[in-house]
Homo-oligomer: A and B are copies of this chain.
């Protein structure tokens, strides 16, 4: 951390700032520049809280240097983390595809979709049994019944299943049925839930918060890893911006940025970002080209009757065609 003093700050104030830094247990090293003095904070383990020093007399700015995350960082662990689920591996350079409907609606629905997507080459099945909905009056999911339908999908097709967990109360239940547990965008900083996920034996898909900065997202993963679960798959799903032609803005540049900072795998969910089918397919191709560690795509056998998010769900035949192109693209860019 660099504590930048105002131009012409007196020696006394500089010394006071040095004292305040050392009082917190750090080493302070004043660096005289041309115009002003800055004070480096050295030998800190982990990051330093900027707010401790921001309000001190004569301090103009406080600039963080060390990143606050440890376990998730590539500096901590050089090699990519590989997370194996069923036939799929996330993080080893392959491109596993997770597919399925937004919500589990019935046994026939999930079974029909699961067979289609398996045939098309998807490696995991997704479907929501507990649905976080903006409105209390919207369909909230089938709950435990939905989980049972997912279990049947696994039995019959052999596909591992991914489903969202919304709270600590239902974690045991979801964990019992799911192969991979998903934490949604609205819960990215639900710290109690993150800690619970850290105690789980299931891999966790951690979606990016709707306005999360890279660092906050990695810190959320750090919460999970710090409790002992190192199987965290990050999932970019679009962020909130001023843009109105898509539901959210898919931030694809976060994929290379994550790969630089962290050893964790990162996949992309173009369906929730786009919100409309026309955009989902090209964004899925873009994700494959970009070097993501997989994608998660919504597919529905009858999108026009879907209980939620029909407009962004692909028809099975569209998904088939898209799988083929995604695989071809991945063959070009992947290793």
Contacts and interface: CB of A to CB of B under 8 A. Distances in A.
A277 B57 CA distance: 12
A166 interface: yes
A187 interface: yes
A135 B56 contact: no
A6 B274 CA distance: 20
A45 B135 CA distance: 14
Interface string A179-215: 0000000110111110000000000000000110110
Copies in the complex: 4
Interface residues of A, number: 108
A312 B53 CA distance: 11
Contacts of A29: 31
Question: Most B CB atoms within 10 A — which of A29, A245, A253?
Answer: A253
Nearest to A34: B43
Interface of A: 2, 4, 6-7, 20, 29, 31, 33-35, 38, 40, 42-47, 49-56, 61, 63, 65-66, 68-69, 75, 132-138, 166-169, 186-187, 189-193, 210-211, 213-214, 216, 219, 222-223, 226, 239-246, 249-257, 260, 273-279, 282-283, 285-291, 303-304, 306, 308-313, 325, 328-329, 332-333
